Structures are given as structure tokens and as C-alpha cells.
A and B are shown apart, each in its own frame.
Chain A
Amino acid sequence: MRPNMKADPRSWLLAWFAGHAKIDQDNIKPDTNYIERGLLDSFAFIALISDVEQEFRIRFSDGDFRKTDFLTISGLASIIERKMK
């Protein structure tokens, strides 16, 4: 489910995580590694990538996926902001 709002990447991402029924809401923190903590399975991860790309009209590169920043809400928000410039 994509949050129905235009917002800054960080707020949008927080809303995206909050909108996912399966995610343990108590563990959603901006600096939590959402992969290490098992918050997203591979289907949710790919949905996140696809929803972000659609929302912010950007396209991640192979290199983006490899950045450790990509795996936290704060880090991902920074990557999105850089790509939007």
C-alpha cells in the first residue's frame, strides 16, 4: 500500500512502512536496518523500491542497492533526495 500523500522522502517512507500490515510497527525507527531486523521480506522490499521509484520519479542504480545507507529509512531518504536534485 502506498501512502496517499506528497511529502518529503523521510516522512513518505515512514508512512509507507506504517502502512504495511505485516511490519512490526514498534521496530520502525529511521536508523533501523530494515533488512537485518527482518522487517521486510523480499516481496515487501521489491514493492518498496518500485513504490519509491514511482512516487519520486527516480530510478535506482545497481550501486544504490549496495550502499548500506539504502537499508535504513534515513539513509534511503538521503539517497532519494540526492537523486531528485
Chain B
Amino acid sequence: MNPHDASREMVLAIKSVFERNRSRVFIVDTLGRREFTYGELEDLSLRAAGMLRELGLRKGDRISIIMPNCIEYIVIYFACMHTGVIPVPVNQRLHTDEMKYIISNAEAKCLFISSRFEEAARQLRSLGLGIVTIIPGSEAESPKAGDWLRAVSAHAPLPDGPLGIVEDGDTIIIVFTSGTTNRPKGVQIRYKEIIGNGKMFAGLLQLESRHRFFAYLDLAYLGGFYNLMLIPFIAEGSIVLQETFSPRVAISFWDMAIKHGINAIWLVPSIASILLSIDRSKVGSEYSREHVEKVLIGTAPLPEQLKKSFEERYHVELYENYGLSETFFISTNHPGIGEPRGVGKVVPGCSVRILDDAGHERGACETGEIVVRSSYLMKGYYKMDEKGAFTRDGWFRTGDMGYLDRDGYLFVTDRKKDLIIRGGINISPKEIEDVIARHPGISAVAVVGMPDRHAGEQVVAVVNGGAGLDKEELLKHCKSHLAPFKIPESIFSSDELPRSVTGKINKKELRRLLLEGALPELPARSKEDETEHES
């Protein structure tokens, strides 16, 4: 290995996957009703890379992407790898103010946006960056209607060849994630860590070329980019590309699995819960018993009863794992460790310690904050300090509470950080509180996650405000500043929010009051009031 290759070990691993699998199918595109081999994806992404170069984009430049799941999204991701351009995906469901924040913060030079989001594109023009509107092939009314992939096919490929100019220490993607601050942070991820973690994970789970995954997690998140695109790619398997999980996907889940021979499923607990609730025939259970080999689950706490019910109904073993955007997989259950327990054993290349409030290490089975030292850690947050993210001696703070049992299995028991996980998506309560607090009728607000039968947690706000405050008006205010999935499901009122001795709102106590039903819902303005007001 020459010195240049040593700095490109992980990059060359991606390149060799393309070389070994040219004629094998990697993507079954259910939306555009086409299949793409590894060779076709390499060819298309090299041509798209040529387009990026022609747009003046160079290694290290950032581009933002706002698209639904589609083949074009994947082509752009790989085109970025060939050119060293860094993709910054933006969730299509975000409010345009939130999109603007991410795109500006990432200093993106160009935006690739689906023609479906015409209004958002119009509003984002004020940012002054180049905008490329993409008509996905699955949505083009006719081949002449501007199908982007057709234009890509006709473009000259990048002369540098596949992954010719990137190194392991380069950034492969920046993913904005909700933390405990009021604004999302850009997690910079390098080739070295993500490919290294993916190779290790695929090895532990024995993921192989025969495995075909159902890719229905949003490509704008690591669940879609890493779990259901890169890991199947590293394993040299294949994916069945679908729209992001929706009622339509839920209804047709097992039909699609049967039609496309899916034998590997990546779940989040809320999806497992929905599938169990909606499944009214034996078709899924019978198919799963015979054909599904791997079922992996993570991103949110998995209730024991849900795990048991899913395993019994579908005759599978759920391999629960644990990780964060900043760390990738920290632990996982896998066939090599016997009986699955908790979130599995800490993966090779990663060390975990459990600390008490004073920073002292705790013993086996004693609960404390989970801190991590890992060879797969992120490069850092993009243009944001990492104050508080690490302990004094350099261990990354997960913000989760848990313990290691005597056999080395990790258990996650609670959350130290103020965060809501709704359907596997992290939501910052502070971000919502800041929006609600801007409403003139509010004097105090607290947002908490409350148990939800399917989503895991739902967003609940408790406000203290004037007598004239009404729910409809407050919801309207939230809708004009927040993405739909962040809008509170319920709003309660309280004359006095419970506080600690230091004056900080005591959210534990607030959750207790909500669970006991001790707080009234904020009333909606009655029709009579409206009439009186209008007259």
C-alpha cells in the first residue's frame, strides 16, 4: 500500500464495492419503477459529478438538498463523493425558516430542490445561492418534461474517475441534528469514521450481498443515508427504495416485502408499533417466518412488550442497537453475543463509561450518564463550539442515562438531555419553547415529551399566559414558525409552572402533573366569543 492509499483506505473500500458488483442490482426503485445496478449507479453519479463540477462546485464546497426519497437523491450523494463536495441534506418537512437556518449556517453554495417544493424554492431564493430544480423521473409527466436523470445520462462523466480526489479525513456529509439547544447543530462526518463504523457493523450483524433492505427512512437523515443506503452498499446488498414511511407504506408494507424479496428490515420502535397495529392478515407473518433474516431496530427506546409482540408475531429476532449522529453505533446486539439484552454490547473501537453527577465512574449495574470514547466519533460541529459535549478528559457525553451489566451489555434507561424523540426523530423542546415564548400572550412556557402509544413520545406544551389566550391562535403562531412534526399535539395551561429552587422549570414535576391530569387544556376560543369580539 503506498502512502496515498493509506490515507484512502475507506474511500477505496467504496470504490472496490463498485468494482466487484457492476452487474448486480443495488437499487430497486419502486417510485420510478426501475432497477439500478452498482455499475449504473456509478456511471450516473459520475455524470452527475461532472454536472456539479460544471456548476463551479469544488471539493469542500457545501450543497443543500431538499428532496423526497428518490433515486436522484442517491445519485447526488454519490456524485458528491466523486467530487469531494459535501452534501447537507435538509428535511423536506421543515418550515422554510428552519430550512433557511440550516442552508445559511452550512454556507451552502447551491441548493438541489425537488420541483415538488416550488413555494419553498421561491422563498429560499433570498439566500442568494444557486438553485437547481430537480424533477424526479418518478414525477415527470413525460420524458420531455425535464426529467433530471435524463439530463444526467447525457452529460459527460467527471474525468477524475470514481472517488478520485477524496481522502478518509474528508467530510462525507454534514447532518443537522436537534440537540438541547434552540437550533440544530451541523454534525460533520468523515469517510474514515462512517465507513469504518459501517464495515464493523455489517460484519457484526453478518450483513451480506444476499440481503435486500426496505429503504423507507428519510434520506435526509442518517437513518436513510447511513443505515439504509451506505450500510447495505458496504455489505454489497441491495435496497428497495420507497417514499419515507407513511400511511401508504404502512398499508402496503408486507405486499412490497413479498413483491421485492425483502429479507432485511430496519425498524424504529414507532414503525414496529404501527406495523403491528395495522397488520390484519397472516400474510406478513408467514412471509417473515420464511424469508426475513435480519431485523434491526434503534433510534428510540424500545419497550420490552413491543419487542416481544413483534418477535412473536413475525417469528424474528430484533437486534436492538444504540448510537447517535455524533458517534454512529456505540453498541448493538448481534448473532455473535448470544441472547440479545438491552442495546447490546459495546462495539469494537468504542469504549463506554458510566459517570455519576460528580464525574466519577460507576460500577456494574449502577446507573449514570453514558460517555463514549470512540474511533468513529464525528469531526465536530460545523462552525459551532463543542462546549459541554465532552468531559474534561475527552469522553463524549451522550446525554443518555444507563448502565452496563456484569456481562458488559449496555442498557439505556433515561435521558439526561432535554430532548423529545417522536417516531425516531429528535426534537428540541427549547426550539419550540422559544417560538411559543415569542407570542405576546405568553409569560412562561415549557415543552415536554409525553408517552404516546405509537410515536413513543408526543410534543406537549404547558403555558402560562393572559386570560384571553386561546389555543387556536397559539397553534397558528406555531404553524407559522415550526415544521408540522414539531407542533404540540396538546397545549395545557398552568397558573404557575413548577420550578426548582434555582428557578428553573421542573420538567419532571410537570410531566407528573400532566400524567395525573392535574392541568387543564388551553381552551379554544368559542364561536360565541368570536361573535362578541367581532360585534
Contacts and interface: CB of A to CB of B under 8 A. Distances in A.
A62 B246 contact: no
A43 B455 contact: yes
Contact of A42 (B245, B280, B452, B484): B245
A43 B270 contact: yes
A35 interface: yes
A29 interface: no
Contacts of B489: 21-22
Nearest to A59: B280
B226 to A, nearest CB: 22
Contacts of B453: 47, 50
Contact of A49 (B271, B278, B475): B278
Name the residue in B245, B280, B281, B283 with the highest tally of chain A Cβ atoms < 10 Å from its Cβ: B280
Contacts of A61: 280-281
Contacts of B475: 21
Given A60-B280, A62-B280, A21 B250 contact: no
Contacts of B422: 43
Contacts of B248: 35
Interface in B266-306: 270-271, 273-274, 277-281, 283
- Give the interface size bracket for A toward B: 20 to 34
Interface string A35-52: 100001111011101100
A82 interface: no
A1 B490 CA distance: 9
B485 A65 contact: no
A66 interface: yes
Contacts of B455: 43
B223 to A, nearest CB: 15
Contacts of B471: 21
Contacts, number: 64
A42 B490 contact: no
Contacts of A24: 479
Contacts of A21: 471, 475, 487-491
B484 A46 contact: no
A22 B487 contact: yes
Contacts of A65: 251, 278, 280
Contacts of B273: 46
Contacts of A40: 247
Interface string B60-88: 00000000000000000000000000000
Contacts of B490: 1, 21
A46 B271 CA distance: 11
A61 B270 CA distance: 21
A42 to B, nearest CB: 5
B277 A50 contact: yes
B454 A47 contact: yes
Contacts of A46: 247, 250, 273-274, 277-278, 454
B525 to A, nearest CB: 13
B281 A42 contact: no
Interface string B248-260: 1111000000000
A35 B252 CA distance: 14
Which of A47, A49, A60, A62 gathers the greatest number of chain B CB atoms within 10 Å? Answer: A62
B423 interface: yes
Nearest to B282: A62
Contacts of A1: 490
14 contacts: A1-B490, A21-B489, A21-B490, A41-B246, A42-B245, A42-B274, A43-B274, A43-B422, A43-B452, A49-B277, A50-B277, A62-B280, A62-B281, A65-B280
Given A45-B250, A46-B250, 5 more contacts: A24-B479, A42-B246, A43-B423, A43-B454, A46-B273
Interface of B: 245-251, 270-271, 273-274, 277-281, 283, 422-423, 452-455, 471, 475, 479, 484-485, 487-491
The 3 A-B residue pairs with the shortest CB-CB distance in the complex, in nearest-first order: A45-B247, A62-B281, A43-B455
